[in-house]
């Protein structure tokens, strides 16, 4: 049997992945092209946003292991084989990278470093009031691997962190590292008391467009939104209106409705928007290959797979 690496990777990325995956699974045949494989022999697909239809015509397929953490694009492919288990990438190195990005954004918001950058551009010298970390209330939405890593890291720096999860979410089974609330009714009071809101929810039909005019209006006046999850969580026109009215002071955005962010999009030149190119937590082949290899070994040994996607819930 053999393994098919498939997805939106440029030549250098494909080489890095093949090298890392082959090193992590020396006994396996792994190729990035079906021309080098017998499709009837492919029982595992390792995927990184594969183009729709990529996984058709693989009759022996028994596992689709995503190399990316988010699987919303994968699940949107109607040709995805229905009966085959899917697994997400859950890599502690990736969670650590996400926690670093969140911490950088929260430090910058607490201490005024985005404002100082605007002042530098204007040639203005003005120290701003200095807030302590224990004066900042931070909400972390989503308490999966990423959300918990972020919440724990922020709490360790002295921030007052509260978590939130959807009602009936997958993460409800695990203990959160910070005080947490659950369900739609708990969201508005949490937002109203938070200086910074960090979004790490999965993108599902229930969370799509969560940050619309109504939700943004429920936030504390002058608060900041840090979106590290998916662009479709945010109604971009509503966010622009909330920034224009002063309801929100700053948005730090790693993800967008359309990626790459199109030329001329108002976010690019907006003084209160920080644009990151979907780089808050990139999968690192060096560590992620070992995570994928563990699931490959589990499948081969007939053991339980880790990080299986619940297709009903969408993550």
Give me the active site residues, please: 230, 278
- Return the residue of 19, 120, 245, 303 that touches a copy of itself, per CB under 8 A: 120
Query: Which H helix or E strand runs over 239?
Result: helix 236-245
Q: Which is nearer to a copy of itself, 91 or 182 (CB)?
A: 91
- Return the residue of 34, 37, 84, 93 that touches a copy of itself, per CB under 8 A: 93
- Return the residue of 14, 29, 73, 111 that touches a copy of itself, per CB under 8 A: 111
117 binds a copy of itself, rule: CB under 8 A: yes
- Return the residue of 1, 37, 84, 107 that touches a copy of itself, per CB under 8 A: 107
78 binds a copy of itself, rule: CB under 8 A: no
Binding mask 241-260 for a copy of itself (x = CB under 8 A): ------------------xx
Query: Which ranges of 54-179 does DSSP label H, i.e. alpha helix?
Result: 72-75, 92-111, 113-121, 145-156
Least distance from a copy of itself to the Cβ atom of residue 102, Å: 10
Comparing C-alpha atoms, which of 47, 33, 61, 42 is closest to residue 3? Answer: 42
Least distance from a copy of itself to the Cβ atom of residue 68, Å: 13
Comparing C-alpha atoms, which of 52, 58, 45, 88 is closest to residue 73? Answer: 52
Q: How many residues bind a copy of itself (CB under 8 A)?
A: 42
Query: Bridge partners of 312?
Result: none
Q: Which is nearer to a copy of itself, 104 or 297 (CB)?
A: 104
97 binds a copy of itself, rule: CB under 8 A: yes
Least distance from a copy of itself to the Cβ atom of residue 239, Å: 16
Least distance from a copy of itself to the Cβ atom of residue 256, Å: 9
Tokens of 210: 């969560």
The 8-class DSSP code of residue 92 comes to H
HSE on the CB side for 125, CA within 13 Å? Answer: 0
Comparing C-alpha atoms, which of 146, 143, 145 is closest to residue 163? Answer: 143
CA distance to 173, 250, 269, 289, per residue, from 276 (Å): 32, 14, 13, 25
Q: Which is nearer to a copy of itself, 270 or 313 (CB)?
A: 270
| Contact (CB, 8 A) for 272 and 223 | no
Query: Which H helix or E strand runs over 44?
Result: strand 42-48
Binding mask 272-311 for a copy of itself (x = CB under 8 A): --xxxxxx--x-x---------------------------
Tokens of 9: 């990777």
Cβ within 8 Å of residue 213, ≥6 positions away: 235, 238, 241, 242
Binding mask 123-152 for a copy of itself (x = CB under 8 A): x-xxxx-x-xx-------------------
Binding site for a copy of itself (CB under 8 A): 93, 96-97, 100-101, 103-104, 107-108, 110-113, 116-117, 119-120, 123, 125-128, 130, 132-133, 156-158, 259-261, 263, 268-269, 274-279, 282, 284
């Amino acid at each position: 049997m053999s393994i098919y690496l498939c997805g939106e990777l440029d030549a250098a990325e494909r080489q890095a992945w093949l090298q890392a995956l082959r090193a992590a699974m020396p006994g396996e045949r792994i190729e990035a092209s079906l021309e080098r494989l017998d499709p009837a022999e492919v029982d595992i697909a390792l995927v990184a946003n594969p183009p729709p239809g990529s996984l058709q015509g693989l009759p022996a397929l028994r596992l689709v292991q995503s190399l990316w953490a988010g699987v919303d694009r994968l699940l949107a492919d109607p040709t995805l084989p229905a009966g085959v288990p899917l697994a997400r990438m859950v890599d502690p190195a990736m969670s650590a990278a996400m926690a670093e990005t969140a911490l950088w954004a929260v430090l910058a918001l607490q201490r005024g470093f985005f404002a100082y950058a605007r002042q530098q551009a204007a040639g203005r010298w003005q120290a701003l009031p200095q807030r302590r970390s224990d004066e900042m209330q931070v909400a972390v939405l989503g308490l999966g691997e990423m959300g918990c890593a972020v919440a724990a890291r922020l709490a360790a720096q002295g921030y007052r962190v509260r978590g939130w999860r959807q009602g009936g979410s997958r993460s409800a089974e695990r203990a959160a590292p910070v005080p947490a609330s659950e369900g739609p009714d708990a969201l508005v009071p949490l937002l109203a008391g938070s200086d910074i809101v960090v979004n790490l929810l999965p993108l599902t039909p229930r969370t799509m467009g969560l940050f619309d005019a109504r939700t943004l209006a429920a936030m504390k006046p002058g608060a900041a939104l840090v979106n590290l999850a998916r662009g479709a969580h945010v109604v971009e026109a509503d966010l622009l209106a909330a920034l224009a009215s002063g309801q929100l002071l700053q948005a730090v955005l790693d993800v967008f409705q359309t990626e790459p962010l199109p030329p001329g999009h108002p976010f690019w030149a907006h003084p209160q928007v920080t644009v990151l190119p979907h780089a808050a937590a990139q999968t690192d082949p060096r560590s992620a290959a070992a995570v994928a290899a563990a699931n490959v070994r589990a499948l081969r040994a007939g053991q339980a797979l880790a990080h299986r996607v619940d297709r009903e819930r969408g993550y």
